[in-house]
Amino acid sequence: MLKIIKRITGRAKKELTKITKYLRFHGYHNLQVLRKTLRKGHKSDHIIICGPDLRGSSILHDVIRNCTSSINFSSKKNISALDTQSLFKKSILTYEPTDLFSVNEIDDLLSKFRNLKFIVIIRDPRSLLTEVHPDIPWQYFQSWDYGFYIEPNQSFTRPGVGKAFNEIERLKEAGKFQFKIIRYEDFLEKPDDIQDEISEFADIEFSKSFSDCLTNTDKFDNTNFGFIQKKTDQISKAWKSTEHAERLNRLSKLFPDILEYIKKHNYPIDEKVNDQVRTDTNINNGTLVAMHTPDKVYTNEAKRMRASLDRLGIKHSVDELPGVDKIAGVEDPENYPDWFIQKLARYYKPTWLRKKRQQIRGALLYCDVDAFIHKNPWEYLHLYEGDMAVFSRRNGDINSGTIWINDTEGAKDFLKLWEKKCLEKRAEIFKSWPNVKPSPSDQVILTEIVIENNNLARYKIQRLPPSMLHIFPFDGSFNEDIYIEHLQASRVAKSKVSQGTRLLKKERDRRIIELEDLF
């Protein structure tokens, strides 16, 4: 830093010197506080609220904040305990629902100078599985396997309700962490009893009662707790409605351990509600569709895909396309290099999908032809009722390798829009020859349309879980939850390959041998 300062003159040098001194002082000060704390044998108290109930963890955090003045730091927004390493306060309160899955990391990072206490807030699994978020009214917010991250592009990759309850059991068996489980229903029905339990567990002195906080809104941080309590109480009982019965029935068949956790956490089994569940869930499966060019590489991929589908008895339509020059829409392809024809051809997917949507009735599931189908995906996809469903990564990028397409007018209109934008981009690229610039792929265009639709809500575009699009080997090792595994043929089909690609090809070849042994 000092070497950089020597090269800077004038006012900028003075400002940078101030910043450097500030950083040095505060870094030194925090280090001294930490050393003094450890020398005396004292640790900061850090209460970490987490768990599968996102709404409940947020409200409990806010109620605790408003009912005590003994906590030195508490954020108004959710913040992971992992992001508080530089805080040196006597007592800290944070909440981040997914901290439940980072308990070991939090313990390794902070336990040397903090007394960590985890409050895990749960709710009836049936209530969590039937909750809808206002930003995504066309899809349930959580499932047993995965749930939503709202930002940046509604990604269905958050660990779901079942994974949270499994993690709670693992932590209980480990027996090395201080944590307390609180049922959100108990917090609403007997808040003062829960307050006493938290006070004893976390050694907090409260100046106001939870019940007072929840009923006398104006006194507390301008937060309408009374409305929140009433609204959340309605939500927690909404699962008993007949409109959710079929979903709960399907989920219980897919994930039998739901009932186990309902009983384990002392939630009642309502026989009258169970009688409302429709038992006729044998909806006809849809058709899996795929396409491939007539070259040797992708023809072999198509054979393997058909074999994996026939093995499971899944109805399919795997089409061989004309040559690349045909689908590129170029009348005289001999006048252009291969890379340019390939660039134009990649915009053909929505055109082909629109035609398949016209030809076949019922829901469609598109998969890239290099995919291997491990389990019948229709058992899971019966949970979907929108126009289409796509997979969005945590960073917001859409991957078009697996797309669910319902037999609706909305789906047809969406495909027409995607096709229109792709054809416009293809025409723009063709017109620019030979001064061709980098351009977005059909997948990037799809992402742009989906993001725009998040605000306009013209179409019901739902999100698929990672189990429908597991990319080998980048998404980690295979597990039994995976339905569809993509084998990345495009990365090894190129004429010029790097050292990294050659290594990937070896891994891929080994994986293909393992998969073909299943036939």
Specify the CATH number for the domain of residue 108: 3.40.50
Going by their DSSP bridges, the two strands 316-320 and 287-292 should be labelled as: parallel
Q: Are residues 187 and 83 in the same domain?
A: yes
| DSSP alpha helix (H) spans, 111-256 | 125-128, 161-174, 184-189, 191-202, 210-215, 225-237, 245-254
Asked if the structure places residue 443 within a domain, the reply is yes
Q: Are residues 256 and 299 in the same domain?
A: no
Residue 11, pLDDT score: 53
Token pair 């006493």: residue: 196
Q: Are residues 219 and 329 in the same domain?
A: no
Rounded to the nearest 10 degrees, the angle between the axes of helix 349-359 and helix 442-456 is 60
Q: pLDDT tens, 304-358?
A: 999 999 999 999 999 999 988 889 988 888 899 999 999 999 999 999 999 999 9
List the chain residues with pLDDT less than 70: 1-41, 217-237, 270-284, 493-497
CB atoms < 10 A from the CB of 294, how many?
A: 12
Residue 284, pLDDT score: 62
Asked if the structure places residue 212 within a domain, the reply is yes
Q: Are residues 27 and 67 in the same domain?
A: no
Q: pLDDT tens, 486-495?
A: 998 887 766 5
Number of domains in the chain: 3
Asked if the structure places residue 287 within a domain, the reply is no
DSSP string over 356-411 = HHHH--S-EEEE-TTEEE-S-THHHHTT--SSEEEEE-TTS-EEEEEEEE-SSHHH
Cα–Cα distance measured from residue 509 to residue 65, given in angstroms and rounded to the nearest whole number: 56
Q: Are residues 30 and 52 in the same domain?
A: no
Q: Establish whether the linkage from the previous residue to 466 is cis, with ω within 30° of 0.
A: no
Residue 151, pLDDT score: 85
Residue 474, pLDDT score: 86
Residue 12, pLDDT score: 52
Residue 360: CATH number of its domain: 3.90.550.10
Asked if the structure places residue 365 within a domain, the reply is yes
Q: Are residues 276 and 326 in the same domain?
A: no
CB atoms < 10 A from the CB of 147, how many?
A: 27
Residue 333, pLDDT score: 87
Query: Residue 174: is it exposed, middle or buried by C-beta count within 10 angstroms (0-12/13-18/19+)?
Result: exposed
Asked if the structure places residue 223 within a domain, the reply is yes
Give the SS3 label for residue 127.
helix
Distance, C-alpha 317 to centroid of its chain = 30
Structure tokens given for 361: 């009735």
Domain containing residue 245: 43-282
Asked if the structure places residue 370 within a domain, the reply is yes
Check: CB of residue 422 under 8 Å from CB of residue 442. Answer: yes
Q: Are residues 20 and 87 in the same domain?
A: no
Half-sphere exposure at residue 306, Cβ-oriented, CA atoms within 13 angstroms: 12
Cα–Cα distance measured from residue 198 to residue 218, given in angstroms and rounded to the nearest whole number: 24
Check: CB of residue 34 under 8 Å from CB of residue 113. Answer: yes
Residue 421, pLDDT score: 96
Q: Are residues 457 and 381 in the same domain?
A: yes
Asked if the structure places residue 51 within a domain, the reply is yes
Residue 239, pLDDT score: 83
Asked if the structure places residue 288 within a domain, the reply is no
Q: Are residues 87 and 2 in the same domain?
A: no
Q: Are residues 278 and 381 in the same domain?
A: no
Distance, C-alpha 271 to centroid of its chain = 33
Q: Are residues 203 and 330 in the same domain?
A: no
Report, in angstroms and rounded to the nearest whole number, the Rg of the chain calculated over CA atoms: 28
Q: Are residues 159 and 177 in the same domain?
A: yes
